[in-house]
Structure 1
Amino acid sequence: MAKYQRLMDDVQQQIEAGIWPPGTKLPSLRQQVAQQGLSLMTVLHAYELLESQGWIVSRPQSGYYVAPRALAVKPLSVAISEKVDINDFVFDVLQATRDPSIVPFGSAFPDPALFPQRQLMRSLANVSHQLTASDALHNLPPGNATLRQLLAQRYARQGIMLSPDEIVITSGALEALNLSLQSLTEPGDYVVIEQPSFYGALQAIERLKLKALAIPSDPTHGIDLVQLEETLQRWPVKACWLMTTLQNPLGVTLTPERKQQLVELLAQHQVPMIEDDVYSELWNGTTPPLPAKAWDRQGNVLHCGSFSKSLVAGFRVGWVAAGKHAQRIQRLQLMSTLSTSAPMQLALADFLATRRYDVHLKRLRQILAKRQQMARQSLLKVLPARSTVTEASGGYFLWVTLPETINTIVLYQQALAAGISIAPGQLFATGDQFNHCFRLNTAWPWDTRAEAAMETLGRIMAEMAQS
């Protein structure tokens, strides 16, 4: 534990024990330096964090005092991670899914055979014949004008009024998400994520040297808004990275009421939200879910989307509806990837200009829903006692919770040796609280190969449960 954290813990325990009642002046910075043998900067950092968490207050020219309501402060089940380290494990798991001999239950991607490859290639061929030397310049950030206009029209059909100038085309959603996070933070800042969370968020936090505040989320209601509000009151949060529709890995979609509450809560604390909405087109039902962006009245939500999960993964085209942040994101993009592929942008604009995309989406949703249900039924037959499986309203993931005696990292290793991949729970957390969980991809054909793999996976789980 860092020295400033030890001092923070000591002061908190002393306040809770009543040694320093509310309103009492605390030892000065210099007194703590002398008593604890710490540097002035270490003590100052500890006091500033205690103040940001609501334990103490500073008074100019006077010092630090115990906050009037400090005794009412209750502990949160929020995971605070000063350092996130996930990259190596993510790389190992994703590499395993590239082997065609492996059953890809651990894959992050849908079956590419579900995409309209022939029609997309036709669009790509159409625009290739028309490409000019100036097209590379015309498709620099913020991206192809026609594609941004078509996206703005799709937003308008949902009742969300956006100018094409607010949209930046990116190399997939991950670049949109990373650039958005980079535009809002500096190293050392606090960022709110969900727990469990998409590992891409954990990787971005690790790369940018940020600190994660992980708010509990559950498969029924999604993120805990009470915990989120108390976290916003205690820490100087600079941004939130959240999924409000078909959250990865839980598959939960927030109700419209909870989405509105979330947006209003963040607006109240003036904390921007990066909305990761890459699965929004894969809903299952009669009514498409609106993004949280639909309730944004202050330009506080940076809405990130992609065609990689719903149309074509290989084109690597995404976007962010960034509003007032669009200019900064464009500058960051120019300094990193420069721009998204011009031919891919043009091909997607050509494809979206027809009704083929919506026809494709209708068929895609039907197939994914059928495969997900078949996989869930098969999984329920082989799970050990006291296990649970989520029932998502779309997408292509199931979140499986096993008895806590089963470590899914060991399960992953044994399954991989048998030619089966899964995504163990450790991928989606800052700690080890989901080591008895795993995510299962249901987007691939449910055939005899998949059935046999599920039976093998069930046998491995049964053996682990018995031992």
Structure 2
Amino acid sequence: MTMRAADGSPEVHLYEQVITEMAALIDAGALRPGDRLPSVRRLSRQRGVSVATVVQAYLGLEDRGLVEARPQSGHYVRARRAPLPPEPRSPRPTTTACKVSVRSLVTRVYTAARDPSIVPFGAAYPSPELLPTDKLNRILAVIARSAGWAGVAYDPPPGLPALRRQVARRAVDGGCALGPDEIVTTSGATEALHLCLRVVARRGETIAIESPTYFGLLQLVESLGIRAVEIPSLPRAGMDLDALEEALGRHRIKAVVAIPNFSNPLGAVMPDESKERLVGLLGRRDIPLIEDDTHGDLHFDDVRPRVAKSFDRRGLVMLCSSFSKTLAPGYRVGWVAPGRFRDAVEHLKFAQSVASPTLPQMAVAQLLEEGGYDHHLRALRRRLAAQVVRVSEAVAEHFPAGTRVARPAGGFVLWVELPFGVSSLDLHARAMEKGISVAPGPLFSAKHRFSNCVRLNCGYPWTDQLDQAVRTLGRLVGELSGS
């Protein structure tokens, strides 16, 4: 139920107003580092709002890293951290296609991710405490008791109608008009990408990918025997379209795979005019675009960015996504809108896995239908944005000179360029000895580039353990750099 103030206005707006006003006082210096904020009850009386509104506002200020709660003492203005280092340099273009080989490195990173004693900066997933786990589990339990045979029966492609209707409804937020019949459900976005790659490219053929890019995609490309041309990804704007156009003239490229919204690992978002140019550039050559929008709902700004598929008029864009990063990684509920390739994807899905698990699809569909998902997303985005800031500030404070840090516009990963000459593989090995995992840069390149870069997971709430882990990483980087 939406709470209301004495004047009848929704309090969901009032707590945001309190956040804005308190943040302005901090920015103006009226509240300085170390100052104690008014108690919850006192500020409630001063502003004429409920205690619940003030509590929510203080949580929001904590999420932004502006204040900190001290047990049995109250809320205090946080000390400002060191200014952030420069952004990472843009990678140089490459001119050759190559085979992909990242399997051994990925295995090492994800072996560490399974160990609960390891600080999880390596694998990119959100903390379970940020997800509506209890609510989803309750829904799943009710469905399991009441669904009867439907819960254990195959749900063959294109997948659960109720889920496809909810996905189609939400696609409007990305500027995309999709019908339920245009969507095929999958076991996570990874299967969606796999199906798309198998439909549009064969062993030995060449595709274009971003550089750096998500190593899960590189694993798929490697498993299919496809060659890859790396296109530089700019720290703020994503794939360099001038470099892509040049590569299209050099190579016989069968498809392009891109993450226009909050690329992994850079967190870059491609401007709308660039998305339109990308779709047009490929459309004139009849080349499919496989678009990974897994992090699209995790934007830090107020408005969700459009998907590239919203500019597609020829059915050449194959839009892939999932609920793994926002609801439940283990449920493996994903989907694809494959455009003109729908029939081929649907048939291959059946041949490959027959169907996606039924009960998780039913649970996610019901949660979306009941509402509350948007409220959950707003809270999740605030927490993730704050955690990215916290990790960025800690890197700025504890890593040596010469370090560079990306400025993600969404998602929950942070790309860090280490000082010249520091090997991220050496850092990974030394960090593991200290019980800390990181994802070394060569994982994100078909040619094992980015040897002095790492990706850090910011999906966990900030704790003293994480703070100490960043301090340790900074010390190790300093030792490796000789500083």
TM-score (norm 2): 0.79
The equivalent residue for 1:5 is: none
Distance 1:178 1:465, change over 3 A: same
- Is the contact between residue 79 and residue 215 of structure 1 (CA under 8 Å) also seen in structure 2? no
Query: Partners in 1 of 2:451 and 2:174 — Cα distance?
Result: 39
Aligned partners of 2:309 and 2:319 also within 8 Å: yes
For the structure 1 residues 145 and 95, does the alpha-carbon distance in structure 2 shift closer, same or farther, using more than 3 Å as the test? same
Tell me whether 405-414 or 102-111 shows the greater mean CA deviation: 102-111
The aligned counterpart of 1:391 is 407
Residue of 293, 305, 316 corresponding to 1:300: 316
Alignment correspondent of 1:378? 394
Deviation at 1:333, TM superposition (A): 1.4
Stretch deviating more after TM superposition (160-169 or 242-251): 160-169
Instruction: Report 1:334-373 matches (<5 A).
Output: 334-373=350-389
Corresponding residue SS for 2:367: helix
Letter in 1 for 2:213: S
Distance (whole Å) between structure 1 residues aligned to residue 473 and residue 173 of structure 2: 44
Q: Name the CA shift for 1:132/1:79 in 2 (closer, same or farther; >3 Å).
A: farther
In the alignment, structure 1 residue 466 sits paired with structure 2 residue 466: no
Counterpart in the other structure of 1:325: 341
Letter of the 1:416 counterpart: M
Partner of residue 268, structure 1: 284
Aligned partners of 1:387 and 1:400 also within 8 Å: yes
The aligned counterpart of 1:38 is none
Structure 2 unaligned runs (5+)? Answer: 1-91
CA distance in 1, matches of 2:466, 2:238: 30
Residue number in structure 1 paired with 2:136 = 120
Does the alignment pair 1:256 with 2:272? yes
CA contact (8 A) 2:98 2:446 kept: no
Identical pairs, percent: 39
1:50-91 per-residue CA deviation (whole Å, 9 max, x = no partner) reads: xxxxxxxxxxxxxxxxxxxxxxxxxx9225343211111101
C-alpha distance in 2, partners of 1:80/1:148?
A: 40
Deviations 1:173-205 (A, max 9, x none): 000000011011111111000111111121111
Alignment of 1:100-139 (within 5 A): 100-134=116-150, 139=155
Equivalent pair of 2:287/2:316 in contact (CA under 8 Å): yes
Task: State the AA in 1 paired with 2:240.
Answer: D
Residues 1:175 and 2:191 are matched in the alignment: yes
Partner of 2:438: 422
Range with greater deviation from structure 2 (304-313 or 150-159): 150-159
User: Normalising by the residue count of structure 1, what TM-score does the alignment of the two structures yield?
Assistant: 0.82
The aligned residue for residue 419 of structure 2 is: 403
Q: Is the 8 A contact 2:154 2:355 kept in 1?
A: no
Taking structure 1 as reference, are residues 175 and 289 closer, same or farther at Cα in structure 2, changes over 3 Å only? Answer: same
> Which residue matches 1:165?
181
Residue equivalent to 2:73:
none
SS at match of 1:216: strand
SS of residue in 2 equivalent to 1:244: coil
* Alpha-carbon distance in structure 2 between the residues aligned to 1:345 and 1:229: 39
> 1:341 and 1:242 mapped to 2: Cα distance?
27
Deviating 4+ runs (over 4 angstroms): 134-138
Tell me the residue number matched to 2:162.
Answer: 146
Aligned partners of 1:407 and 1:221: how far apart in 2? Answer: 26
Distance (Å, rounded) in 1 between the aligned partners of 2:138 and 2:403: 47
Cα shift at 1:131: 2.1
The correspondence for 2:328, drawn from 291, 305, 312, is 312
- For residue 294 of structure 2, the aligned residue among 278, 303, 308 is 278
Contact 2:318 2:338 survives alignment (8 Å): yes
Q: Deviations over 1:95-131 (max 9, x none)?
A: 1121111111112211111111111012112221232
Query: Which secondary structure does the structure 2 equivalent of 1:459 belong to?
Result: helix
For the residue of structure 1 that corresponds to 2:373, the secondary structure is: helix
* Aligned twin of 1:51: none
Larger Rg computed on CA atoms: 1
Inter-partner Cα distance in structure 2 for 1:159 and 1:253 = 15
Aligned length: 392
Indicate yes or no: 2:114 matched with 1:98.
yes
Alpha-carbon separation, structure 1, partners of 2:210 and 2:454: 16
- What is the root-mean-square deviation in Å for CA atoms of aligned residues? 1.4
Q: Residues of 2 paired with 1:231 and 1:248: CA distance? A: 22
In the alignment, structure 1 residue 221 sits paired with structure 2 residue 250: no
- For the 8 Å contact 1:142–1:169, the answer to whether it is kept is yes
